């Protein structure tokens, strides 16, 4: 579990790298922390791993206070750092074994975990090669295996799938999903919005050290982009101008062969709209929710924060 | 204990393996270790032969201990780069963060790196020395005694600890490998000077004196390790990316500490200065007690030992007395030869030298210089006793009048200097070494400006104008 309140970090006397961040991630939940480079993601993660002392606020990770129990936090948290941080002259096997010892695992457990992780990430064949000879993706997988070596209850992952090929990235996403199902608490910092959308239960967007948005994807979409949009498509031009739409429906756009509208309460209203269309013999081909991506939410939020118009 | 050692060894072992797998470290060092003893052997024989051709009286046997010391020093200076990049290298390669995020404690990482930093150069040094000793054993020269060899090997070990502990401190504080390597000269050059000093001790011929060098260097190394551990901060290794000298901020930190909360000059004297003096209690006690012990020890040593070296017959004592009398005649001219402002300047400069020596040695060298001065007082009083003057009267008229101010000033300055050194090696992870140094220097400056300078000014005036008169009055028979 990760909890923090008003977590803040000031550098060089006057620069707030993180300013008043409050988060709550429960076991079995994944939080995606999104933001530009330099927004404060890494500093936040470093405070949560007790590497940096907060200037203000508090945080508890895996049940321990970051200021009072840094050693316990480090022992219970798995961290994938921004850079893979591999020792290039060590083999993959040696590297995992070294960190297994660092985390105090006995020989039997180390062997078991090493074998499992090397097998899972497809590194078993390369286990006896020096990591300096690995491809970028292999290095990233080995670094992730290091973060998982002690089977931590909390994971803080910075760009977990960067530099990976699609198959490897999928493998990593599956592993993260498995961690969620085994009640681990996970924070991922990423620029890969599709990945965040696919994995995260909650999403926080950080800008210049402050959290601008924090919530589930649906909540963020509603909050930033407004009510859900639906689209009716027609097989031939249809004049929808005379439709009597129920109250609370706002037409977003229309063309000869389509009609888009926003609905606050789709469960109650959509059947009425479909009824109206069919009763007016509209050549209806499809009626579906318009897909809205996290990318739109993110870009709109950033545009608003920077005071520039959002180009949809 | 076992757990700590396991963790230290874990860090060290990984680094050992890393070094052994890096041909850029192994190959040059292997070449240096195997070739340098031959070069040193040949050069030494050529140098001795060359000097002797021009009437010199050099014997190769005498040079061998010195050459062993130099052969031991060379691999230390070359492999220093390993220690210099111990932390900053990992930082630059991005490998430090996983290590810092792990449950390893600060001391495990620090001492693990220190162990590797010391062991690698020492192995190369001792190998090189071993090859040279094999060469020496095949020549027609006297092989150094086992005692001398032990001392030289211990000294080489002490040099390794001193250099590596300094290098590790630099490695923690530096933000790039380049800046750390640039700092290497600040480690190598002082140790090279130290080596020259030790060489003089070896040529002097008294092997036992080398023990002082061994103990001194080991003490200094211990203080450096403590300094490094005291200021080791994970945050510092990650938080700072660029080295910038912010003079404005440095000035602000120094000024704020120096001025304190005082609203006026009077306030500063009444509140701030006593507060600083209050923090010096412990240092003052140490300085005063050591000073007194030194005066008495030096006095006793002169009184007991000097008669064994100098014959003190009645004629010889008369000779000494008349020599002192001649000097007292010159005392009348003291204000012309050494005006009070100049004496004040010399004394003030001496206290600054104490500080500077203290800064490079965490107070130990500054304190040593202070004790040397006090030993001189004891020695002079002992000598006065030997030639038949009352040491108490000599002290009361010759030292006390200006000494009341001068010794007080020197004691205060030394105590403040000692505090600077002590603060540097005290655990304080909230402040960087730079910050700690600035704050402690501001405290020292408070004492220096507020008390030492006024006291030295008064002392100089008394020493030039009053002390000669009092001496004349006390010893009219001269």
The answer to whether residue A144 neighbours chain B at the CB level (below 8 Å) is: no
CB-CB neighbors (< 8 A) of B96 in chain A: 85
Nearest-angstrom CA–CA distance, B47 and B198:
20
> What pLDDT score does B239 carry?
64
Question: Domain residues of chain B, as ranges?
Answer: 2-239, 247-474
Strand partners, A289: A230
Kindly determine whether residue A51 and residue B101, on different chains, have CB atoms separated by under 8 Å: yes
Which token pair is A213? 């948005």
Instruction: Report the percentage of chain B scoring pLDDT > 90.
Output: 29
From the list A82, A98, A143, the residue facing B14 with the nearest CB is A98
**Structure confidence at residue B244 as a pLDDT band (50, 70, 90):** low
For residue range B57-87, list pLDDT tens digits in order.
Answer: 666 677 788 889 889 988 888 778 888 888 8
Q: What is the model's pLDDT at position B243?
A: 56
What is the C-alpha separation between A208 and A213, in angstroms, rounded?
A: 13
Query: φ and ψ at B286, to 5 degrees?
Result: -60, -50
Q: Apex CA B308: angle with CA B305 and CA B310, to 5°? A: 105
A77 interaction partners in chain B (CB closer than 8 Å) = 101
User: Which chain B residues touch A82 with a CB distance below 8 Å?
Assistant: 94, 97
Say if CB B82 and CB B29 are below 8 A apart. Answer: no
- State whether residue A37 sits within 8 Å of chain B by CB: no
Angle at B120 between CA B114 and CA B121, to 5 degrees: 100
Helical (H) or strand (E) element with B404: helix B400-424
Q: What tokens appear for A292 in the block? A: 């809205």
For residues B447-451, average pLDDT: 94
pLDDT in tens, A220-271: 988 888 888 899 999 988 876 777 788 878 888 888 888 888 888 888 888 9
Residues of chain B contacting residue A146, judged by C-beta atoms under 8 Å apart: 98
pLDDT digits (tens, 9 = 90+) for B99-153: 999 999 989 999 999 999 999 889 999 999 999 999 988 887 778 888 889 998 9
Chain B touched by A52 (CB under 8 Å): yes
Structure tokens at B367: 């304190």
- Reference A289, options A220, A228, A217; nearest CA is A228
B246: nearest CA partner in chain A: A12
Beta bridge partners of A58: A5
Residue B267 has pLDDT above 80, yes or no: yes
Give residue A312's pLDDT: 65
- For residue B46, what are its two tokens? 């050529």
What dotted CATH number matches A2-215? Answer: 3.40.50.300
b/e sequence A118-150, b meaning 16+ C-beta within 10 Å? bebbebeebbeebbeebeebbbbbbbbbbbbbb
Q: B103 and A49: CB-CB below 8 Å?
A: no
pLDDT band at B428 (very low <50, low <70, confident <90, very high): low
Average pLDDT per run of 10 along chain A, which is 312 residues long?
Answer: 92 84 94 92 92 92 93 93 90 96 94 94 93 90 94 92 84 87 92 90 94 91 88 86 78 86 86 87 89 89 87 69
CA distance, residue A97 to nearest chain B CA (Å): 11
Sign of the Cα pseudo-torsion (B182, B184, B188, B189, in order): positive
Say yes or no: A101 contacts chain B, CB-CB below 8 A: yes
3-state secondary structure chain A: CEEEEEEEEEECCCEEEEEEEEEEECCCCEEEEEECCCCCHHHHHHHHCCCCCCCEEEEEECCEECCCCHHHHHHHEEEECCCCCCCCCCEHHHHHHHHHHHCCCCHHHHHHHHHHHHHHCCCCCCCCCEHHHCCHHHHHHHHHHHHHCCCCCEEEEECCCCCCCHHHHHHHHHHHHHHHHCCCEEEEECCCHHHHHHHCCEEEEEECCEEEEEECHHHHHHHHHCCEEEEEEECCCCCCCCCCCCCCEEEEEEECCEEEEEECCHHHHHHHHHHHHHHCCCCEEEEEECCCCHHHHHHHHHHHHHCCCCCC
Say if the Cβ atoms of A99 and B96 lie within 8 Å: no
C-alpha pair distances (Å), B53 with each of A247, B43, B48, B56, B141: 117, 15, 9, 7, 19
DSSP secondary structure code for residue B209 in this structure: G
For CATH 3.40.50.300, the residue range(s) in chain A are: 2-215
Name the minimum distance, in Å, from the CA of A155 to any CA of chain B.
12
- Contacts for A148 with CB less than 8 Å, ≥ 6 apart: A78, A113, A117, A155, A175
pLDDT at position A116 is 94
- B17 contact residues in A (CB cutoff 8 A): 89-90
Residues of chain A with Cβ-Cβ distance to B18 below 8 Å are 87, 89-90
Q: Are strands A15-25 and A154-158 parallel, antiparallel or unpaired?
A: unpaired
pLDDT band for position B403 (cuts 50, 70, 90): very high
CA distance A115 to A117: 6
B243 in contact with A at a CB cutoff of 8 Å? no
**Gap between the terminal Cα atoms of chain A:** 36
- 8 Å CB contact of B103 and A103: yes
Exposure letters A32-46 (e unless 16+ CB within 10 A, then b): bbbbbeebbbbbbbb
Q: Is B477 helix (H, G, I), strand (E, B) or coil?
A: coil
State the smallest CA–CA distance between residue B112 and chain A in angstroms.
13
- What angle, 0 to 180 degrees and rounded to 10, lies between the N-to-C axes of helices B210-230 and B185-204? 160
d(CA B441, CA B161): 27
Q: Six-digit token pair at B248?
A: 């404005």
ipTM: 0.84
Cβ atoms A193, A199 nearer than 8 A = no
Candidates B210, B191, B212, B213; CA nearest to B202 is B210
Give me the pLDDT at residue B59, please. Answer: 67
Q: What is the DSSP letter of B145?
A: P
Residue in B421, B423, B409 with CA at minimum distance from that of residue B460: B409
| pLDDT tens profile A193-231 | 989 998 999 999 999 999 999 999 989 988 888 888 899
Sheet strands side by side (includes A56-61): A15-25, A2-11, A56-61, A64-65
| CA–CA gap between residue B157 and residue B187 (Å, rounded) | 15
Tell me, yes or no, if A102 comes closer than 8 A to chain B by beta carbon: yes
Exposure b/e, B357-378, CB count within 10 A at least 16 = b: bbbebbbbbbbebbbeebbebb
Tell me the sheet residues that pair with A84. none
- Residues near B22 by beta carbon (within 8 Å), at least 6 away in sequence: A89
Q: Do A89 and B96 touch (CB under 8 A)?
A: no
Question: With contacts defined as CB-CB under 8 Å, which chain A residues touch B105?
Answer: 71
Work out the average pLDDT over B402-412: 94
Whether residue B132 contacts residue B67, with contact meaning beta carbons closer than 8 Å, is answered with yes
pLDDT for res B323: 75
Q: Is A254 exposed, middle or buried (0-12, 13-18, 19+ CB in 10 A)?
A: middle
pLDDT value of residue A240: 67
Tell me the sheet residues that pair with A228.
Answer: A263
Instruction: Decide if domain A225-289 falls under CATH 3.30.70.
Output: yes
Q: In this predicted model, what pLDDT tens digit does every residue of B351-382 receive, in sequence order?
A: 999 888 888 777 888 888 899 999 999 999 99
Nearest C-alpha in A relative to B8: A102
Residue-wise pLDDT for B21-30, tens only, equals 888 888 888 8
Q: What's the pLDDT tens digit per position in B155-207? A: 999 999 989 988 888 888 787 888 888 878 778 888 888 888 888 877 766 77
> Do A85 and B100 lie within an 8 Å CB cutoff?
no
Query: Nearest chain A Cα to B94, which residue?
Result: A85
Contacts of B21 in chain A (CB under 8 A): 89
Say yes or no for a CB contact (<8 Å) between B18 and A89: yes
Q: Average pLDDT for residues B276-305, to the nearest whole number? A: 92
User: Which residues of chain A form CATH 3.30.70?
Assistant: 225-289
Q: What distance in Å separates residue B298's CA from the closest CA in chain A?
A: 52
Chain B residues close to A101, C-beta within 8 Å:
10
The pLDDT assigned to B477 comes to 67
């Amino acid at each position: 579990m990760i909890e923090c309140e008003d977590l803040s970090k000031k550098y060089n006397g006057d620069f707030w790298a993180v300013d008043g961040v409050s988060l709550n991630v429960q076991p079995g939940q994944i939080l995606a922390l999104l933001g530009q480079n330099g927004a404060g993601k890494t500093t936040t993660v470093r405070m949560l791993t007790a590497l940096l002392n907060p200037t203000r606020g508090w945080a508890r990770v895996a049940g321990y206070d970051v200021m009072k129990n840094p050693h316990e936090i480090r022992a219970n948290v798995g961290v994938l750092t921004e850079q893979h941080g591999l020792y290039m002259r060590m083999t993959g096997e040696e590297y995992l074994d070294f960190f297994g010892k660092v985390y105090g695992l006995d020989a039997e457990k180390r062997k078991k975990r090493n074998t499992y992780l090397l097998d899972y990430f497809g590194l078993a064949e390369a286990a006896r090669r020096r990591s300096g000879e690995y491809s970028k993706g292999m290095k990233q997988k080995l670094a992730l295996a290091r973060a998982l070596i002690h089977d931590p209850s909390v994971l803080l992952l910075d760009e977990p799938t960067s530099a990976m090929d699609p198959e490897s990235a999928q493998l990593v996403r599956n592993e993260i999903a498995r961690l969620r199902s085994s009640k681990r608490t996970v924070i991922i910092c990423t620029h890969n919005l599709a990945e965040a959308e696919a994995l995260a239960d909650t999403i926080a967007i950080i800008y210049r050290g402050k959290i601008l948005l924090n919530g589930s994807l649906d909540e963020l979409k509603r909050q930033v982009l407004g009510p859900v949009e639906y689209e009716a498509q027609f097989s031939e031009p249809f004049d929808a101008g005379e439709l009597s739409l129920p109250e609370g429906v706002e037409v977003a756009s229309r063309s000869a062969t389509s009609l888009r509208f926003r609905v606050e309460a789709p469960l109650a209203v959509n059947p009425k709209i479909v009824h109206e269309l069919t009763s007016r013999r509209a050549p209806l081909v499809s009626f579906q929710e318009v897909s809205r991506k996290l990318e739109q939410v993110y870009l709109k939020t950033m545009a608003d924060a920077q005071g520039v118009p959002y180009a949809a | 204990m076992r757990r700590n050692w396991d963790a230290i060894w874990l860090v060290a072992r990984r680094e050992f393996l890393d070094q052994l797998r890096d041909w850029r470290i192994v190959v040059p060092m292997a070449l240096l270790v195997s070739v340098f003893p031959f070069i040193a052997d040949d050069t030494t024989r050529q140098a001795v032969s060359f000097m002797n051709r021009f009437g010199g009286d050099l014997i190769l046997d005498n040079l061998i201990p010195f050459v062993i010391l130099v052969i031991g020093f060379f691999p230390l200076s070359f492999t220093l780069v390993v220690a210099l990049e111990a932390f900053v290298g990992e930082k630059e390669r991005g490998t430090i963060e996983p290590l810092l995020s792990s449950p390893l404690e600060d001391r495990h990482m620090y001492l693990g790196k220190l162990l590797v930093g010391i062991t690698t150069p020492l192995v190369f040094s001792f190998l090189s020395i071993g090859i040279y000793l094999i060469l020496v054993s095949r020549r027609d020269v006297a092989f150094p005694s086992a005692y001398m060899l032990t001392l030289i090997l211990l000294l080489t070990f002490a040099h390794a600890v001193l250099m590596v502990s300094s290098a590790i401190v630099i490695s923690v504080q530096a933000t790039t490998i380049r800046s750390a390597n640039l700092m290497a000269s600040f480690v190598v050059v002082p140790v090279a000077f130290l080596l020259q000093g030790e060489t003089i001790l070896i040529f002097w011929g008294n092997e036992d004196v080398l023990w002082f060098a061994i103990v001194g260097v080991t003490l200094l190394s211990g203080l450096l390790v403590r300094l490094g551990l005291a200021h080791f901060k994970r945050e510092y290794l990650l938080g700072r990316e660029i080295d910038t000298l912010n003079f404005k901020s440095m000035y602000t930190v120094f000024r704020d500490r120096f001025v304190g909360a005082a609203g006026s000059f009077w306030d500063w004297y009444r509140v701030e200065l006593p507060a600083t003096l209050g923090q010096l209690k412990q240092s003052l006690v140490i300085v005063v007690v050591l000073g007194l012990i030194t005066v008495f020890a030096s006095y006793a040593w002169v009184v007991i030992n000097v008669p064994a070296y100098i014959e003190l017959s009645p004629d010889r004592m008369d000779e000494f007395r008349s020599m002192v009398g001649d000097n007292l005649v010159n005392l009348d001219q003291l204000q012309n030869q050494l005006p009070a402002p100049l004496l004040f300047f010399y004394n003030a400069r001496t206290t600054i030298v104490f500080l500077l020596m203290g800064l490079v040695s965490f107070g130990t060298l500054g304190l040593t210089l202070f004790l040397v001065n006090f030993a001189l007082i004891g020695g002079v009083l002992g000598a006065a006793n030997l030639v038949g003057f009352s040491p108490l009267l000599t002290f009361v008229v010759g030292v006390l009048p200006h000494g009341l101010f001068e010794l007080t000033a020197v004691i205060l300055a030394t105590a403040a200097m000692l505090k600077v050194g002590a603060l540097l090696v005290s655990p304080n992870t909230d402040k960087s070494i730079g910050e700690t140094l600035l704050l402690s220097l501001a405290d020292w400056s408070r004492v220096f400006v507020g008390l030492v300078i006024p006291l030295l000014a008064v002392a100089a005036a008394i020493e030039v104008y009053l002390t000669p008169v009092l001496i004349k009055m006390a010893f009219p028979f001269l």
